[in-house]
A and B are shown apart, each in its own frame.
Chain A
């Protein structure tokens, strides 16, 4: 067990190193000179040269990379070229925002997707099944930004129920915080709800055909108990795995959703940084995201070992 853990941990570092190198190189492929963008409208050649020198852009690429990496090893992700704040500070203020949005979106997705999936499996080929499938398909095929804008127009402008955009931290005012994030969380959760619904449905259909379900019914158990306690428990295993995989969709979706709702999270930060060629921010965000991902994967692997004793010998 300890050996397994150590081995896995050792694999994390090269992965992160590769990711950071890849991002660094990809940025070099991006057309557009950061010094030109940073010099503003006037493009004073003297200033452009000075920016290049100041940001080490006039040094060879390997030196630039090692300079950045050296900083990272000391816990310094560098300074944003655009707004001149430390990248670490930016990450620490933006990460909780996207995490809150992501968690709320996930809860919404589960609350909608799983019951809808159960309903359509239990009432197979009924009106409810078709309705759930239709809504699910619509959810999958609706672009995030369009749904976002429509919700803003309907709920904020016409009905005036919720603020149309912006963000208030949970610690500052939890009610306003929920009010500002519920719409984007719904938009973000909507597509995942559709995926969850369809998978719950097919897993439930399989489970309901199993022998143990027939046995449970034969014992005279009520249909609710059969569905929720016997069939659902087994059907949920693949659904949970899928839910974890959909976390990636969540982060990708956050990029667009945060833009539409002006939520100052990770997604908005990375988009703005790409457009202003703010390389330290892009690199910092990708590195932190990759670290979180890799560590979560590691935790999942370890949990798997803990749950499944047969893995321990491996």
Chain B
């Protein structure tokens, strides 16, 4: 009896070891900074969700590393008039359920974004009036008003096309098993832990896919993320914090890949939002004095190891829309004092800054606090949890508010909502008819050169009025295993699986 038991144990152990050492095709394991929300392109709201979609759901258009719009599920587009655009579709593209990605599916998906209850896309494509199917591979999209950024909007979730058959069958549960036309198909999700996608063999661009699976793991703690990367438990970490960059660089098993991001860090200054918008900061001279007291270069060196780009504009320096004529203002304490004297305010000018309680934001605020003190400001830091700070911002319960924006490829996404009268992200309640006119005009003009000219004026006006003071453009800092190659960083920070290979 004993011998039988021993033999059985030995066989079991042998089987276990063999199962563990079985050779598998390379798997790409990506560490995300948080758990994504619903995996339905119409409902999804989180940034990390977009990283998952980059492997799961192809879009009509994409952007490349130079921020140019390139075709993906579409082959091209043409503006028939400022309110009508014709989109030509790629032929022989299949959804994960085997059905055809065609004009009817595009019409279905765009209308779903517009009409589905709980849609997070409605605001992005609110200008959409209707979609006509011209033939199986052509759609004609009619807009309510001329909207130049419309094609750029289709480079993100609003341009993702879902299988109408699967979406109809699943209804509100589509997020639990999404069916799209991306390089990988949904396999499994364990909330707060991982999302597994399997290679889709019928993908239209299958030759560029070199891994059999993508596994996304949410790892909140940045130290744990780096530990996982160095220990080889993940192949790629989408977000390495600047203070960890040298650790990853110095380990021969890992490397850092950076690209300039599209977003920014900003200080919203309450200029007219409720009672707190009547303080000294509502005076533009005081705001300019505040800016003159700040050294963006020093913030970058102290808090971000010099990795980010000091910037005073809402548009990334990597964008063709960036206004090169505006120099990022340097620190000038004498000027700051002079401006305060001109404004006739009593010094020290006392005000508070709402700061979301991430270590990096608080550190930035502390550096600013000590800089502006020398110019005659007494700045109090109110650190608060992120959702609380949003609520306070929305209610106008702040004098200044430090908040970051993840950024959009088209400048409209970084400006209209923030600087237009009544814009949903216009926390300072800034209102200037000239600005409104420029922002609206930039939406109506479809030629790029014309838009570049308008956004130059927008940047000048924003710098003159200063309701939102920009501090820097961050870097997307991705950490990967040394065995990983072929990853192309794009300023939107998404991880596109095309071209990625992992050496054994």
Residue ranges of A at the interface with B (Cβ–Cβ < 8 Å):
30-33, 36-47, 50-51, 54, 80, 82-85, 90, 93-94, 149, 152-153, 156-157, 160, 163-167, 175, 259-262, 264, 268-269, 272, 275-277
Shortest beta-carbon distance from B173 to chain A in Å:
8
Contact with A along B194-234 (1 / 0, CB 8 A): 10000000000000000000000111110110011011110
Pairwise interchain contact A40-B45, C-beta atoms closer than 8 A: yes
Query: A44 to B123, Cβ gap below 8 A?
Result: yes
- Set of chain B residues within 8 Å of A44, measured between Cβ atoms: 122-123, 424
With A39-B120, A94-B192 given, name 15 new contacts (CB 8 A).
A33-B391, A36-B387, A39-B45, A41-B406, A45-B424, A46-B122, A82-B37, A163-B233, A165-B233, A166-B217, A261-B224, A262-B218, A262-B224, A272-B35, A275-B386
Nearest-neighbour CB distance to chain B for A119, whole angstroms, equals 34
- A-B contacts, CB under 8 A, total: 143
Of B34, B45, B118, the contact of A41 (CB 8 Å cutoff): B45
The 26 listed contacts between A and B (C-beta, < 8 Å) are A31-B392, A33-B390, A38-B45, A41-B47, A42-B424, A45-B424, A54-B117, A82-B37, A84-B43, A84-B176, A149-B221, A153-B227, A156-B227, A157-B230, A157-B231, A164-B228, A164-B233, A165-B219, A165-B227, A166-B193, A166-B228, A167-B193, A175-B16, A262-B218, A272-B34, A275-B386
Q: Are B190 and A264 in contact (CB under 8 A)?
A: yes
List residues of chain A with CB within 8 A of the CB of B246.
none
Assess the B425–A262 pair: CB atoms within 8 A. no
By the criterion CB–CB under 8 Å, are A164 and B224 in contact?
Answer: yes
Q: How far is the CB of B44 from chain A (nearest CB, A)?
A: 8
CB within 8 A of B37: which of A30, A41, A83? A83
**Cα distance A99–B390 in the bound complex, in angstroms:** 35
Asked whether B124 lies within 8 Å of A157 as measured between CB atoms, the reply is no
For A162, the closest partner residue in chain B by CB is B231
Minimal beta-carbon separation of A139 from chain B (angstroms): 21
Residue of A45, A51, A84, A167 most packed against chain B (CB within 10 A): A84
- For residue B36, which residues in chain A have a CB less than 8 angstroms away from its CB? 83
Kindly identify, within residues 29 to 43 of chain B, every residue whose CB is under 8 Å from any CB belonging to chain A. Answer: 34-38, 40, 43
- B362 CB to nearest chain A CB (Å): 17
Which residue of chain A lies nearest to B17 when distances are taken between CB atoms in the complex?
A: A175
Are A32 and B224 CB-contacts (below 8 A) given A164-B231, A272-B35? no
Residue B93 is within 8 A (CB to CB) of chain A in the complex:
no
Interface: B394 (CB within 8 A): yes
- Nearest-neighbor residue (CB-CB) of A80 within chain B: B191
- In contact, B191 and A90 (Cβ under 8 angstroms): yes
Contact B388 A32 (CB under 8 A): yes
- Decide: B217 and A36 in contact? CB cutoff 8 A: no
Residues of B contacting A272 in the complex (Cβ-Cβ under 8 angstroms):
34-35, 192
Contact status B391-A264, CB under 8 Å: no
Asked if B328 is at the interface (CB within 8 A of a chain A CB), the reply is: no
- Nearest CB on A from B255, distance (A): 16
Q: What are the 5 tightest A-B residue pairs by CB atom distance, in nearest-first order?
A: A40-B45, A44-B123, A32-B387, A264-B193, A43-B424
Let me know if B364 is at the binding interface, CB within 8 A: no
Contacts A44-B123, A156-B227, A275-B385; is A54 near B191 (CB within 8 Å)? no
Chain A residues, Cβ within 8 Å of B67? none
Give bound CA distance, A84 to B217, whole Å. 19
A308 to B385, CA, bound (A): 51
| CA distance in complex: A39, B193 (Å) | 23
- Chain A proximity mask over B314-347: 1 for CB below 8 Å, otherwise 0: 0000000000000000000000000000000000
Contact A33 B220 (CB under 8 A): no
Most chain A beta-carbon neighbours within 10 Å: one of B118, B172, B224: B224
Query: Separation in Å of the A138 CB from the closest CB of chain B?
Result: 21
Tell me which residues across on chain B come within 8 A of A275, comparing CB atoms.
Answer: 385-387
User: What is the CA–CA distance of A33 and B16 in the complex, to the nearest angstrom?
Assistant: 50
Interface residues of B in 133-148 (CB under 8 A from A): none
Scoring B residues 382 to 417 as 1 if CB is less than 8 Å from chain A, else 0, what string do you get?
001111101110100000000001100000000001
Q: List residues of chain B with CB within 8 A of the CB of A149.
A: 221, 223-224, 227
Residue B64 at the chain A interface, CB threshold 8 Å: no
Q: Check if B122 sits within 8 Å of A156, measured CB to CB.
A: no
Residues of A within 8 A of B47 (CB): 41
Question: Which single residue of chain B is at the shortest CB-CB distance from A48?
Answer: B424
